[in-house]
Chains A and B, each alone.
Chain A
């Protein structure tokens, strides 16, 4: 296993190198550069443009620049943003990343969970009327033109009904005298979510060994209640109490995008789960499970859905990869200043260091996600074992 991971990591470095060089060349293939608008300014002396180019090293030949960029990249130097000098790309990403992560982590978890749940119920009730209707709805939300759908929801719930804010991730007027940057709140919210998930996951793992099913269920339910009480106490004491109104403001702004993206994203998982599970239900071991006298729910969850999980998890891991680049549309529609908008802006303005840094981030993320997918196979399906050799 360790050997496999090392081997894969070496491969990943090679792939990443190729990725880095080719994307740098592609960005430079765009005609013009970030500073050409200086030429339009009649107040500037004629040599100012050349000076700026020289400062940023844009006057060097392209091959030399690639070399410099790659070497500096692996040294950990990503240059400076052309647009927001003297900010570095890392600073820009650090500011934007929490916003995107918070939004899309929640969307992905909710979409995967509801999709899997809906999918397995659909497969289990195959042929019933409710199954037909839910399948048709899922196909609709799977195929709908997403920007149109998002705008319609925004128009209806934001404008017509006025239940949710239209765009932005906070009300600026509330934050004038805020003692914190919005990122502090975002990081706090992310930490909170991660800790809750870890606790819940640990509770699940620890109770797996308990033999009595009712006892197991009771303890899991108890842990859920404990988490609720714990989070109530957390947000009502000390430091978090003062941050609460700001966190609430962000959370309020998050509702609509989360709901809209979830509606679109859950359908893929639901339909995939349904298809896989319909096949699994025909298997002999489902009959064995029924003959054993297990309850319908247990057969559905522990036998049918568990075996159908592999392709679903694969597709889920690959959608995680698209969090950043897929967020371009969502963030533009909901005016959510996250990574997607940063990516779009930097590409449009030819702010190459920032665009390259965001792209590399997406690339690293994708490579790691694929590795995680491959490793998780062997846990999900014991028939797949990773060989050290070959």
Chain B
């Protein structure tokens, strides 16, 4: 493993709403090594995208990072001014958004929109250099050079997503966040895009954060992963470990809710209840109301949520360790 590129430590982020603060990200910590891909998985509304937005500090106006630190190659990002952040965005951390359909400005050419990003961070480049760079990128993601002079509406969904990947790579960022990059696409194109991402990652040695609600995709794409529930990380470790020996009840249920192509046929399990409201400060384990087999201490909410290391690099929530 390479050196640590991105270190997130005890990150807390909440949204100010009329009903009170909504704690969307609670004490999230993880480390991303160089050339590694890290997966974030969880159901809708569990805070995956909030984590991604906090990394770039592109949160909505009512969102506040209350504590914690985000270090990119040792540089602290929390508390940076807008102008300092601008130099980090795209150059340090870039993002592949979900829904490529709407991520392109409809009235500007694809090439111009990529060029604009490069121009912002490499102001001394000549026009030829930038054109060359874009051609290179298009070559990597498998797009024709003529796409440069096309408008977004002239491309198919898959092409737009490929172009978005090219856009994300345009400034050679240290970290790329892929926020559900395949959600809006059909399965065949999804597969192509995933392969493309994987190829790009190996080719360029990217450090990738992959966000998805689809645990199967995470299994295919990542080296390490974290499972999020209600704003907190409940289990984190090498992807293979988590898939083979899931510790947390939620992870287990998540795995059992996806059909497996190999092995015995099993009935898929679903989870009763709804994710908890994040407005009230929950004491104890936030998953215990839905947990199929909570321990007595957990049910009485006596245990605080805390990750403990159960084997090397594999962390899980304290109370579920005590349950299982």
Interfacial residues, chain A to chain B (CB-CB below 8 A) = 209, 211-214, 283-285, 287-296, 302-303, 306-307, 380-383
Q: Specify which of B88, B119, B126, B153 is in contact with A213 (CB 8 Å cutoff).
A: B119
Quick check: A294 and B105 within 8 Å, CB to CB? no
**Residue contacts A-B, CB under 8 angstroms, 17 given:** A209-B127, A212-B119, A283-B102, A284-B97, A284-B99, A285-B105, A288-B167, A292-B90, A293-B86, A294-B116, A294-B120, A306-B107, A380-B107, A382-B107, A382-B153, A383-B151, A383-B153
Q: Specify which of A211, A214, A287, A291 is in contact with B130 (CB 8 Å cutoff).
A: A211
Q: Specify which of B117, B124, B125 is in contact with A292 (CB 8 Å cutoff).
A: B117
Quick check: A284 and B103 within 8 Å, CB to CB? yes
Q: Specify which of A213, A288, A295, A302 is in contact with B123 (CB 8 Å cutoff).
A: A213
Q: Specify which of A288, A291, A380 is in contact with B104 (CB 8 Å cutoff).
A: A288
Q: Which residue of B lies closest to A290 (CB)?
A: B58
Q: Specify which of B97, B104, B106, B167 is in contact with A381 (CB 8 Å cutoff).
A: B106
Q: Which residue of A lies closest to B170 (CB)?
A: A292
**Known contacts A211-B127, A381-B107: A293-B102 contact under CB 8 Å:** no
Q: Which residue of A lies closest to B105 (CB)?
A: A285
Interface of A, helix, strand, loop or mixed by DSSP? helix
C-alpha gap A384/B251 in the complex (Å): 49
C-alpha gap A382/B117 in the complex (Å): 21
Given A284-B102, A289-B105, A306-B108, 14 further pairs, Cβ under 8 A: A209-B127, A211-B126, A284-B103, A285-B103, A285-B104, A287-B97, A291-B56, A293-B85, A293-B120, A295-B86, A296-B82, A307-B106, A307-B107, A381-B106
Q: Specify which of B105, B127, B151 is in contact with A307 (CB 8 Å cutoff).
A: B105
B304 to chain A, nearest CB (A): 35
Residue-by-residue, is B144-162 near A (CB-CB < 8 Å gives 1, otherwise 0)? 0000000101000000000
**Known contacts A213-B119, A287-B97: A293-B107 contact under CB 8 Å:** no
Q: Chain B contacts of A303 at CB under 8 A?
A: 105, 108
Q: Which residue of B lies closest to A296 (CB)?
A: B82
Quick check: B102 and A285 within 8 Å, CB to CB? yes
Q: Chain B contacts of A212 at CB under 8 A?
A: 119, 123-124
Q: Chain A contacts of B120 at CB under 8 A?
A: 292-295
B95 CB–A CB distance under 8 Å: yes
Q: Chain A contacts of B125 at CB under 8 A?
A: 211
5 closest cross-chain pairs (CB), A and B: A293-B89, A284-B102, A293-B86, A211-B127, A292-B117
Q: Chain A contacts of B167 at CB under 8 A?
A: 288
Q: Specify which of A291, A295, A380 is in contact with B95 (CB 8 Å cutoff).
A: A291
Q: Which residue of A lies closest to B127 (CB)?
A: A211
Q: Chain B contacts of A284 at CB under 8 A?
A: 97, 99, 102-103
Q: Chain B contacts of A296 at CB under 8 A?
A: 82
B94 CB–A CB distance under 8 Å: yes
C-alpha gap A383/B126 in the complex (Å): 30
B91 CB–A CB distance under 8 Å: yes
- Which residues of B65-116 have CB atoms within 8 Å of chain A's CB atoms? 82, 85-91, 94-95, 97, 99, 102-108, 115-116
Q: Chain A contacts of B107 at CB under 8 A?
A: 306-307, 380-383
Quick check: A293 and B105 within 8 Å, CB to CB? no
C-alpha gap A291/B104 in the complex (Å): 12
Q: Which residue of B lies closest to A309 (CB)?
A: B107
Q: Chain A contacts of B108 at CB under 8 A?
A: 302-303, 306
Q: Specify which of B86, B106, B115 is in contact with A383 (CB 8 Å cutoff).
A: B106
Q: Chain A contacts of B130 at CB under 8 A?
A: 211
Q: Chain A contacts of B290 at CB under 8 A?
A: none
B299 CB–A CB distance under 8 Å: no
Q: Chain A contacts of B87 at CB under 8 A?
A: 293
B121 CB–A CB distance under 8 Å: yes
C-alpha gap A291/B124 in the complex (Å): 21
Quick check: B89 and A292 within 8 Å, CB to CB? yes
Q: Which residue of B lies closest to A283 (CB)?
A: B102
C-alpha gap A211/B123 in the complex (Å): 8
Q: Which residue of B lies closest to A306 (CB)?
A: B107
C-alpha gap A317/B120 in the complex (Å): 34
Quick check: A291 and B58 within 8 Å, CB to CB? yes
Q: Which residue of A lies closest to B104 (CB)?
A: A285
Q: Chain B contacts of A213 at CB under 8 A?
A: 119, 123
C-alpha gap A194/B31 in the complex (Å): 62
Q: Which residue of B lies closest to A303 (CB)?
A: B105
C-alpha gap A313/B123 in the complex (Å): 32
Q: Which residue of B lies closest to A379 (CB)?
A: B107
- Which residues of B186-222 have CB atoms within 8 Å of chain A's CB atoms? none
C-alpha gap A272/B224 in the complex (Å): 50
B155 to chain A, nearest CB (A): 12
A309 to chain B, nearest CB (A): 8
